[in-house]
Structure 1
């Protein structure tokens, strides 16, 4: 169904909700653009490092004062994906970008509620549903207007032979199609570009920033584990430079900590909904054609048969007897199957660089976190608000 063409109630649109040939074309083209700009590859390391250094400088300004890390983490992570999509980064003090980030955060928090309206549209016409639906649509429209303005500016000075970012590459392909120079990607269109950018921005910002937010919290709550990370980084890297991707083989314990953070946080509690294309049977359960199937990632990550004492933070789960990292198939923070997260390689690189840089530079302590509560309407699992102190290790 589709209500307002700029609103939230869209199916078969954008790279996330498309299916069939439209999905194949959208995903394939986005991956080609990522490859062109080196996203998720070693040559993209410098770009993430530049943003990581800006984050370190911003935190260092606080000189150990207690603060909520949410804003600086969101701004830093968003600048990485925004540099690919919009071709620029934004200063942490940019009010317009703060507005955009806030809209993206609200949209991410609304995701579960949006699914309800998509799959049970009648709720939008009930008295209690109208107000909720109006609020959801308002956020989506404002986010769309922001993205549409940027696309409009790109169209003014588009150079089809030299691409600054994803928008340029996408618009160039559309222009080639209009001129009959191409025909391979006939299902691409400007509306899908707008929706895809919103989806990529939210997915590329909210999930990684949220994981890092949990990471800072878990380090504050587990000072012994944090010290082990500090010691390993100091031994493998030293104090005269920041960690690099090339150091990864020598940071086995640190990698295990990152994996345990992803398991414990389980920020995406549910996978992306899948439609059953034909009636099938799984473990004796018949799933009729057309039914929607949603994977429960949270249940997998908290299964005591897979993870003894699942509520304890134990990085050793991911280390073998020789202290080497074991990548377990049961850890699925990016979901599974053909619709696995489009930006998985980028997210893994960001998590490693941001986390190791922060651990190299700071000791995290003093959390005032009082425990967590569960929201049934947020897809992303956010910790309750907390504050920490980042003490410079030098």
Structure 2
């Protein structure tokens, strides 16, 4: 009688081999933080969803403050809660301050600049940039003058709308970008300047395309497929446009006109220091290639976040007209309408400052920050962080933590004021991140936000168009930005 249960040794070996391969493809290395079951080849990609904040919040409830997921075949470790973030990037900053290598970062930056570099090159570039921006901001008040100059042009553009409904996105972006232009290039552009418009469009498109192109960080060979499914070629064309039409010509012009005794913008300051170190034969990373990339980094960091914060503020004003009116009354009582606000007025306007802080907290503009990594295998809170692993800092888990804020889903500026009406600064307020990689332009961004918003509130009342309220459910991309909405700017008499 035929034995239907008889199995050949070859079949058994084949089954064992398949099971072994599946085990290798789905197992987690010893010591890696816990996380969901990874599927062969794709890891946890299929279960990520369009908003990682939602996915990571659920995983945190299941696995704790430190967990890992797999993006295809690469692990990614997620840190949640203020305690874990502080312990990693403040108390253990020596090992948690590096940027990970990735195809896009390495291909675009070529190991230059600020955002994608690590080690001594990053430290020297950051130190110089920070000192220079600080000098412009605090030493001679150059920064405040440049912001005021731009605000004047910005308000004129608002007035031309004559109280009609319009989308202010591009106008705000133009103004904020021009502050960066004034600081770096020593000049601003008219909002209708074709080169300026082309430059801003290229930046916009790259922010929009970065999500699709991110797949290439895991599977870089896909860029060779026919067509441009992952927007890689468009990104490269946009980067070339930014470099060839604005950055390179500006550097060339500065080199031709440079005068060590007339240093009034970032490029001239960089050239002066670069030549000084060359003359003294110091080892330095300050060179023209790094300057080109630093300029690009400063533009990307300084334009998107500040523009987005101003737009979120307007969206929250439409939903909370009482907050807007309270801000105006505070400005009216302490400054009036006959002169423009200045940074010296900041201490007189605690409610305005609290409102800006609440927008930064609630709007969650950079919920994942930029990724970190470790330069070698690291033991942290009982887990092994393997060399080069992507480490994601969930700022969202701190800024929206109910244990810290009580009612984080509510928009309530008063949470930042004490019983006497003075500002309360909580250490968990980290919209610009923390540690050595804290946002380089934080001081500049805070100055811009205060001066732009106080002047806007002083001059205009912002109301919805035909009662249509903007959505408070934003769009997750490289940042968390509000959806497009219309607004009316009614001049205050």
| TM-score, length of structure 2 as denominator length | 0.73
Listed as ranges, the matches of 1:280-299 within 5 Å are: 280-299=378-397
Question: Is 2:289 the partner of 1:191?
Answer: yes
* Deviates most, 230-239 or 46-55: 46-55
Q: Secondary structure at the match of 1:18?
A: coil
Q: Distance in 1 between matches of 2:357 and 2:104?
A: 41
Q: Distance in 1 between matches of 2:301 and 2:389?
A: 25
Q: Select the residue among 105, 129, 132 that pairs with 2:204.
A: 105
Listed as ranges, the matches of 1:50-89 within 5 Å are: 50-89=149-188
Cα contact 1:110–1:379 (8 A) shared by 2? no
* Deviates most, 204-213 or 25-34: 25-34
Cα RMSD for the two superposed structures: 2.6
Q: Distance in 1 between matches of 2:463 and 2:306?
A: 21
Structure 1 residues 196, 288: closer, same or farther in 2, change over 3 A? Answer: same
Listed as ranges, the matches of 1:1-394 within 5 Å are: 9-10=108-109, 12-38=111-137, 42=141, 44-113=143-212, 116-118=215-217, 120-125=219-224, 131-146=230-245, 147-176=247-276, 180-184=278-282, 186-367=284-465, 368-373=468-473, 375-376=475-476, 378-394=477-493
Q: Residue by residue, what CA displacement relative to the aligned partner does 1:165-207 show, whole Å, maximum 9, x if unpaired? A: 2222323444445xx4133352222121111111101111111
Cα contact 2:371–2:392 (8 A) shared by 1? yes
Q: Distance in 1 between matches of 2:397 and 2:280?
A: 46
Structure 1 residues 126, 294: closer, same or farther in 2, change over 3 A? Answer: farther
Q: Residue by residue, what CA displacement relative to the aligned partner does 1:33-82 show, whole Å, maximum 9, x if unpaired? A: 22443369755323212211221121112221111111221111111111
Cα contact 1:83–1:89 (8 A) shared by 2? yes
Q: Give the unaligned 5+ runs of structure 2.
A: 1-100
Of structures 1 and 2, the larger Rg is shown by 2
Q: Give the unaligned 5+ runs of structure 1.
A: none
Structure 1 residues 176, 255: closer, same or farther in 2, change over 3 A? Answer: closer
Q: Distance in 1 between matches of 2:108 and 2:144?
A: 37
Cα contact 2:199–2:242 (8 A) shared by 1? yes
Deviation at 1:83, TM superposition (A): 0.8
